[in-house]
Homo-oligomer: A and B are copies of this chain.
Amino acid sequence: MSVTAPAGFAAAGVTCGLKSSGNKDLALVQNLGPLTAAATVFTSNRCKANPVLWSQQVMADGRVDAVVLNSGGANCYTGAQGFQVTHSTAELVANGLGISATDVLVCSTGLIGEQLDLDKIAAGVKLAVDALGQSDSSGPAAKGPSATSPPPTSPDAGLAAAQAIMTTDSVPKTVHVQGAGYSIGGMAKGAGMLAPGLATMLVVLTTDAHLNSADLDTALRAATRVTFDRLDSDGCMSTNDTVTLLASGASEATPDLAEFTATLTEACLSLALQLQADAEGASHDIAITVTNAVTEDQAVDIARAVSRSNLFKAAIFGNDPNWGRVLAAVGTTHAEFDPYDIDVSFNGVRVCRAGEPDQSRDLVDLTPRAVDILIDVKVGTATATIWTNDLTHDYVHENSAYAS
């Protein structure tokens, strides 16, 4: 599982004191090649964190040898000093692994507006580099840091990396999907796609397929467009979101791009749904599907408007099939539809037909965690789904107490 599942990748997850809890807080993923191609999608937030500003430069040539990720601080709105910390982090990794700093992607997550402690980062990078440097054959008798770290290409190393990027996540998120002669692995953090606690969604995907960075970019954009981009847990976009895909080519398989994109989409969807299932304070995982829209974009617009209605989300928390709140949100969009010819179903029960009450609300059971909302706008053939969560007391509690 995780980023070490495909051939050609090593990983480590270590503790360096950025988190007061003493949990793992620094992860390192190295692409062992032979290929070091990469593609990355960054947050579209115009207020971007220092690691995003740095990593955008790294991606200019489509080559990434290693990704270093820290929890315990977003390094966003920390000015020139913060950028220097990011730069130094990449240098430390580069020196440790014998690669170029301009091939080291940096990702950070945690609170905005607080400086990261570079001494702690340096200690963490040393521990992680040491863990990557150990032989896979190192037995239980080995000494030093490597004695406490799993072999760097082992499943346990991938899991340790996934644990080290957790913030308010309650479980690590990992994936491994088999393609035709290759595989895709991955890890993710984020208690909701769009930055609950502004603690950011970070994703690292790895593959041993042999594809250049342009093809990886095409596949990654296609996959994220219908997965991470359609997860909208709380409507709040992070300053640090980064999804990166590394290819080692170690399988020597050069897959058909369409097939690879489908496999990658499967991996992204798995991680996205794991993020949804662990969203801060959520008690329901809600899939809002709009059918028969004029275009897919319009279907997305309608579903996203509903996903951002606090009244709708609070109703689901209360197990209330309040279809009036669905239609009120639909009515705020500019998509094409007849406001008085829309059907709405909750978990398979059509409670609204053509804009009037249909089956009884009492037939709807919203006690399961999974909730399916179907909105049929009856004007075209396009469909899209947005995944969101309900608005709960626990969400308010976690996000009012986060910084304290």
Contact = CB atoms under 8 A, between A and B. Distances in A.
A253 interface: no
A20 interface: no
Contact of A113 (B46, B234, B323, B404): B323
A194 to B, nearest CB: 9
B355 A79 contact: yes
Interface in A312-332: 314-315, 317-318, 320, 322-325, 327-332
Of the four ranges (under 10, 10 to 19, 20 to 34, 35 or more), the interface on chain A belongs to 35 or more
A32 interface: no
Contact of A308 (B78, B235, B322, B392): B235
Contacts of A404: 318, 320
Interface stretch (A33-41, A153-161, A236-244): A236-244
Nearest to A320: B403
A400 B318 contact: yes
A123 interface: no
13 contacts: A46-B332, A47-B339, A76-B324, A77-B355, A78-B357, A198-B311, A198-B325, A235-B310, A239-B324, A308-B308, A315-B400, A317-B400, A391-B399
Nearest to A354: B79
A401 interface: yes
Contacts of A198: 311, 324-325, 328
Q: Which of A196, A317, A324 has the most CB of B within 10 A?
A: A324
A114 B351 CA distance: 12
A339 to B, nearest CB: 4
**CB-based closest 7 A-B pairs:** A112-B324, A318-B400, A47-B331, A314-B399, A79-B356, A45-B331, A46-B331
A356 B113 CA distance: 7
Given A318-B400, A357-B77, A396-B391, A310 B112 contact: no
A357 B113 CA distance: 6
A42 interface: no
A332 B332 CA distance: 19
Given A315-B403, A331-B239, A401-B318, A113 B352 contact: yes
A369 interface: no
A236 B311 contact: yes
B392 A396 contact: yes
Given A77-B352, A396-B314, A399-B315, A237 B112 contact: no
A48 interface: yes
Interface string A373-396: 000000000000000000111011
A395 B354 CA distance: 31
A111 interface: yes
A400 B234 CA distance: 17
Contacts of A235: 308-310
B77 A324 contact: yes
